[in-house]
Chains A and B, each alone.
Chain A
Amino acid sequence: MTAVAAVETVPLFAPADVGIRAVSKAALYVVIASGLSLIFGLMGVLNFAHGSLTMIGAYLGGAVMVATVSAGTGGVARFVLFFLAAAAVFGLLTGVGAAVEVALIRPIYDREPLFQILLTFGLVLVLDEAARIVVELAGLQPQTEWQDAIGTAPAFLGARYDILGVDTRWGLYAFEALVGLTVVVAILLFLGETRYGLYIRAGSEDAEMAQALGIDIRRAFTVVFGVGAGLAGLAGVLLMWDPRFGASVPLSVETLLVAFIVVIVGGLGSFKGTVVAGVLVGVVDALMSWLFINVVDFPGLPELVLFTVLVTVLVVRPKGLLGVAEVGGH
């Protein structure tokens, strides 16, 4: 995660700064975890390749922005291009995800979960290595954030503003919070108001019963795996502008860990749980980053605290905060 990168110029006691960082991180974490939550909840598939798709989404979004934005491109045009890039990446990775489900995941549904874990872990190795090769061929450093892509953000997002006595990137963090909120509302509406959303909520509880009611659960699996992959890519596009993250190959593992923590803490099969856990983890991360960087000098401790939260939840409440099934018992 991003504890070290979060040092910047945070004052010794800065509740406003911690607050806005917490809000932006909460939004980002929910978006990062949402696709994994939908896939895990309905299908019981632990998609280790989720972070790789986020990383690829960040590079694809960055590629669109770098190719289309020039020094003379105005702020509004950059926002428009960003949303077009986000839509394109979402659509592309949704299609790729659906194809992966049909070609690779579907043939092993009847096998032990270990096969799915090994398969998706294999995908991580393939995708991350392929990304590293392509990024190097493009003349970029795979290990460091793609600064050219970060530089395509409108000046309003790139600049720091002094508000409430805190000098930070208020525009960027507010933008991330707004996009995150929009994504959450869209997913909640999809789950709550559409027939497919109903299938997903029911299938997350009891896929066999859903089948016996006439629902083609295999098709729902394909749709959800596709949408989950698309959401992973969308999260990548959102992270591409943020200097705390940025497009880089290590973003794959970084976001995968966040997604796992959020989904498990929130509870298997519950998107609302994912939202609650995303907010919780975002707030804890921002608070711990401030505490262990500005008050006590232990930059690695915020991550340790998050993993402690994860382990505590697994031991004390294996269902997670709002889960409908125990992790491992699906």
Chain B
Amino acid sequence: MSLLEVDDVHSYYGESHVLRGVSLSVDRGETVALIGRNGVGKTTTLRSVLQLTPPRRGTVTYDGTDVTGRPTHEVARMGIGWVPENRRMFSHLTVDENVRIATPPDGDVGAAFETVYGAFPELEDHRDREAGDLSGGQQQMVAIARGLVGGNETLLVDEPSEGLAPQIVEAVADALSAVAAEATVLLVEQNFPLAMDLADRFYLLDQGTVVASGSTEGVTREDETIRRYLSA
């Protein structure tokens, strides 16, 4: 059984039917990319896993437990971290506080700091700075780090390269690559080569449903199916 299973999920924003029967699975230790054009339901899929946008139909199963309809904080506490689009830092909290808040009440804050500053030494010099004052790349590192603490085994990562300069994207890709080596990752990424480089498998979404899936090995943007669904 896969660590994360999304089965025939239908999700809505109000009356707008966004996900129309999405099914996918992610095995433990795997990195899976969700690709597709803007507005096809990639972010909504991640939100539905966390029950931020609870599915009206279908199920989400994590580590053998049906989490559909459960409160988001309970799902997160099962070991799922979220690195959202636009990073969503608590900009008025310091870097340390952004890490501390992600640590469970019974968790070891010292160990969380070690995890974060071990993985991202660059952040150590900015521990007491408000996160809103950091550069975009540093904020992305905090966002990834925040998703990692508390013993999270799975990361849902949404558009990590969005709005970053190319050299910063490279640093973030390195960081994600290191994370992916130890965690299970479901990645939404518009940067096609980056997504293919980081992921083991991919799901291609269009109009709220999975239209193709498979191994990322050897897949290029020129492949017929990819070109058809990714071209503007």
On chain B, the residues within 8 Å of A213 by CB distance are 73, 76, 82, 101-102, 146
On chain B, the residues within 8 Å of A209 by CB distance are 82, 84, 88, 90
Specify which of B52, B92, B93 lies most central, judged by the most chain A CB atoms within 10 Å of its CB. B92
User: In whole angstroms, what is the CA distance A218 to B77 when docked?
Assistant: 15
- Considering the complex, which residues of chain B in the window 57-89 have a beta carbon less than 8 Å from any beta carbon of chain A? 71-73, 76-77, 82, 84, 88
The answer to whether B101 touches A210, judged by C-beta atoms less than 8 angstroms apart, is yes
A180 to chain B, nearest CB (A): 24
**In this assembly, does B105 line the interface, its C-beta being within 8 Å of a C-beta of chain A?**
yes
Give the dominant DSSP class at B's interface: loop
- Considering the complex, which residues of chain A in the window 198-236 have a beta carbon less than 8 Å from any beta carbon of chain B? 198-199, 201-202, 205-206, 208-218
Specify which of B52, B90, B105 lies most central, judged by the most chain A CB atoms within 10 Å of its CB. B90
Give the dominant DSSP class at A's interface: helix
B89 to chain A, nearest CB (A): 9
The answer to whether B88 touches A211, judged by C-beta atoms less than 8 angstroms apart, is no
The answer to whether B97 touches A214, judged by C-beta atoms less than 8 angstroms apart, is no
Report the interface size class on chain B: 20 to 34
On chain B, the residues within 8 Å of A324 by CB distance are 91-92
- Considering the complex, which residues of chain B in the window 30-52 have a beta carbon less than 8 Å from any beta carbon of chain A? 50, 52
B217 to chain A, nearest CB (A): 32
* Known contacts A209-B88, A211-B52, A212-B84; is-contact A199 B73 (Cβ 8 Å): no
**In this assembly, does B163 line the interface, its C-beta being within 8 Å of a C-beta of chain A?**
no
The answer to whether A212 touches B90, judged by C-beta atoms less than 8 angstroms apart, is no
On chain B, the residues within 8 Å of A218 by CB distance are 71
**In this assembly, does A111 line the interface, its C-beta being within 8 Å of a C-beta of chain B?**
no
On chain A, the residues within 8 Å of B76 by CB distance are 211-214
User: In whole angstroms, what is the CA distance A213 to B73 when docked?
Assistant: 7
* Known contacts A211-B52, A324-B92; is-contact A217 B73 (Cβ 8 Å): yes
B103 to chain A, nearest CB (A): 9
Q: Can you list, as one digit per residue, whether each of B124-163 has a CB less than 8 Å from chain A (1) or not (0)?
A: 0000000000000000000000100010000000000000
On chain B, the residues within 8 Å of A215 by CB distance are 73, 101
On chain A, the residues within 8 Å of B146 by CB distance are 213
Chain A residue at smallest Cβ distance from B149: A213
Chain B residue at smallest Cβ distance from A270: B92
The answer to whether A206 touches B90, judged by C-beta atoms less than 8 angstroms apart, is yes
**In this assembly, does B104 line the interface, its C-beta being within 8 Å of a C-beta of chain A?**
yes
The answer to whether B90 touches A214, judged by C-beta atoms less than 8 angstroms apart, is no
The answer to whether B92 touches A201, judged by C-beta atoms less than 8 angstroms apart, is yes
On chain A, the residues within 8 Å of B100 by CB distance are 198
**Of B73, B92, B97, the contact of A216 (CB 8 Å cutoff):** B73
**Of A195, A198, A206, A217, the contact of B88 (CB 8 Å cutoff):** A206
10 contacts between A and B (CB under 8 A): A202-B93, A205-B90, A209-B82, A209-B84, A210-B101, A211-B73, A212-B50, A212-B52, A212-B73, A324-B92
* Among all A-B residue pairs, the 8 with the closest Cβ atoms: A214-B76, A211-B72, A212-B82, A214-B77, A202-B90, A213-B102, A209-B88, A216-B73
| Further contacts, 6 of them, CB under 8 A, given A195-B105, A213-B82, A215-B73 | A202-B93, A209-B82, A211-B52, A212-B72, A213-B73, A214-B73
